Amino acid sequence: MHNRNATALACLNARWLASWRLRREGVSLFSLLLIALAASLTPAANARGGNQELAQTLMHIRAQDQRMQDIGWKLVSQNATFCAETLPAIGLQLVDVAGYRKPAQIRQAMGMSGNFAIYTIAAGSPASRSALPIMAEISAINEQTLADLPAKSHSDWERLARVHGAVDQSLKADGVVELSLPDGRIDTIAGADICSSKFELGGKNKRAIADGSRVILGRNFPGFAYPDDELAAAIAHELAHNILSHKAWLDTNGRKRKNVRRTEREADRLMPWLLANAGYDPSAAMRFMQRWGPKHGGGLLRKRTHDGWDERVDYIAAEIAQIKALLTAGQTADWSAHFRRDVIQD
């Protein structure tokens, strides 16, 4: 879920395009973009104290990712009751230095002695209630010693994908996963049901994408400069695409502009419902659009895959009025019962 240093970014687009094919095979961007980060290190950077520079870059990227995971966890956990498809999760991501071109250098920059460590723990998740700290090194998962897993000499992003897959499978099969630390301590963490979507920090771009199972934000996505509730609104919009199965619907019905516009409008309308259940002010969806729209909505030159930003605000406002009426009446923002679908119900 992470990309490379600010130097030598020429290979990013090729890696990003290749990653779409890999995601169809169930491979996360997490390791791919960490490889890209390590691959960007140059001898000149190393001569200037590259490890310190790299450590700072990694800290910045991890902080962005942590913010995204914290917001994402609120959205998918607090809306799970209303989602048709859920999955068990613990809100934890790992890092594997074998995924980098220069593992020893990355290990030193991260202050690690082994290969695997905890990279992010989503606030409020089951992992956050354990005693595991950020960057704690992990030696085994369900008694499988991680050091025994085969790996290439460097840039082996597949190993981390397999480890994350093992965690997911353990949660699906047993409801728990067992994590062992090098000091012999063992933490057994039970999963919690969340809406069936994960969150990833993508390349050095400004995009926000939903691919059916993941929400992916580029590192330069403008929403990272917004307050948390407005960034949450942006994430909720992409999450809505996944929850409402828009990708599958477009695959079946075609990506004509009118079809894309219908899915975008529906995602806009679900935003405030998702925010309300996650503890955010649903009006943040309007504030996000009012801040985002004038700069990024395209004005008269926009493609007709989206309504005008002012129209989008109106659609969102209508949903907020319905949400407030429900809450005032002592009910919940149950969008599974009260949200009117425009897509799929043809």
Q: What is the pLDDT at residue 101?
A: 84
Local confidence band at 304 (pLDDT 50, 70, 90 cut-offs): low
Q: For residue range 262-283, what is the model confidence (pLDDT) as tens digits?
A: 999 999 999 999 999 999 999 9
Is 333 a residue whose pLDDT tops 90?
Answer: yes
Q: How far is CA 206 from CA 209, 270, 328, in A?
A: 10, 23, 38
Q: How does residue 305 score in pLDDT terms, banded at 50, 70 and 90?
A: confident
Q: Are residues 243 and 136 in the same domain?
A: no
Amino acid 2: pLDDT = 40
123 occurs within a structural domain: yes
pLDDT confidence band for 260 (50 / 70 / 90)? very high
User: By percentage, how much of the chain surpasses pLDDT 90?
Assistant: 66
Domain range holding 16? Answer: 12-194
Supply the mean pLDDT for the chain. Answer: 85
Query: Total structural domains in the chain?
Result: 2
> End of a domain among 151, 171, 194?
194
Quick one: what percent of the chain has pLDDT higher than 70? Answer: 82
Same domain, 231 and 132: no
Tokens at residue 10, please? Answer: 């020429």
286-303 pLDDT, tens per residue? 999 999 988 886 543 355
In this prediction, residue 89 carries a pLDDT of: 98
Nearest Cα to Cα of residue 4 among 102, 79, 150? 102
pLDDT band at 156; cut points 50, 70, 90: confident
Start-to-end CA distance of the chain, whole Å, equals: 37
pLDDT of residue 3: 39
The answer for residues whose C-beta is within 8 angstroms of residue 239's C-beta and 6 or more apart is: 72, 75, 76, 195, 197, 210, 215, 274
- CATH number of the domain that residue 74 is part of: 2.30.42.10
Confidence of residue 328 (pLDDT cuts 50, 70, 90): very high
78 lies in the same domain as 179: yes
What is the DSSP secondary-structure string of 262-302?
HHHHHHHHHHHHHHHHTTS-TTHHHHHHHHHHHHHS-GGGS
Looking at the predicted structure, is the pLDDT value of residue 327 above 50? yes
pLDDT reading at 15 higher than 70: no
Specify whether 299 is located in the same domain as 234.
Answer: yes
* Domain assignment present for 117: yes
Q: Is 2 a member of any domain?
A: no
110-137: average pLDDT = 94
Q: Which of 194, 218, 236 is the last residue of a domain?
A: 194
> Same domain for 20 and 95?
yes
Name the nearest CA neighbour of 4 among 60, 46, 48.
60
**Taking 50 as the threshold, does the pLDDT of residue 189 lie above it?**
yes
Residue 214 lies in a domain: no
Answer yes or no: is pLDDT of 47 > 60: no
Q: What is the pTM of this model?
A: 0.83
**pLDDT at 32 exceeding the cut of 50:** no
